[in-house]
Structure 1
Amino acid sequence: MTLYRSVSRAAVTGVSLGHRELSAADHWILALDPAPSWACTHLVQTPFPHVAISLSGVSAETAPELRAAADAAAAGRSGRAVVFPGSERLVGSLTVSDVLSLSAIDRVEVLGSGVAGDDAVVDTRDFVRPQYRGGDLVLVTTPAAGGVLVPFETREPTPCCADHA
């Protein structure tokens, strides 16, 4: 097993293409060829609310009016990780110990309950989007049927009030 600690953010590029939704930014990131070695999304307000991107291993152009958002995305260690070392290995069901040893994720937490135990099983649902918090890459999970944990963020979230007429 490979251990991924101290992920390098050398040569981080900030990009802002005006994506209005996380899924659109994710799609753009995952379609890059060559693929970035690391990529995060960032919710920004300048010059309008949208999703900016920080990545390494790839360069991309940003329109001048979106440069401030791109610069904000590249500054500091924050964001929602889409591509990170070991992310491609986080498929199926894995123990928390496996998640930590196979990827750059530093900690797995259970929403409202604290750090998950090493033996807890995470059904990744093949969609893992940890977030940087205090310099650590943290995967937030929630309990699910069958005694497993699942990532709190899902691939296709239910919009707020979706079942209200």
Structure 2
Amino acid sequence: MKQRRFTLVLLVANLALLVAIAWALGAPIVPQWLAADPAPDPKAPAQPTPSPRLSQALLAETWAHPLFAPARQPDPSLPGEQVPALAGLTLSGVVLSTDAKLAYLRDGNEPAHKVELGATLGSGWTLSHLTATTATFTRNAQTYTLSLPLPRLPAPPKASVITPSRTPSL
């Protein structure tokens, strides 16, 4: 008698579960749509987002603390690369934008100073041409080009950083 009652309880529980599943699957799912955005006017021209204006002090600070240098210090100038015509000046940065055309020059360990295109240095050299990596100076029909130094990457490690696992392959 007990076993029959237990079987009956299991049968009722299974039927209730089947009815609940059938109801869940059969109930319609109504999506909740978001309100439609107003259509943009196709005749109105899209206005470009203006780039932010940075002060000259912020631009100079960028060159004083390079982002990808490990110590956030500018690359040291190599001995023997001194420019005899420009008395040890090195090109540490170039800014080419619609508003400014600047070269950042460094004299030894002094902070970098900016020179605008067409400006004349105290030694008489005039910045006559700028590219993304060079600055060309002229004086008395002489020209001299300073280039950005290309720092060398550190040597790769002798040992592999990732060691293979010692599990046997099948």
Q: Which has the larger radius of gyration?
A: 2
- Same fold per superposition (TM over 0.5): no
Q: Does 1 or 2 have the higher relative contact order (CA < 8 Å, sep 6+)?
A: 1
Higher strand share: 1
TM-score (normalised: structure 1): 0.22
TM-score (normalised: structure 2): 0.21
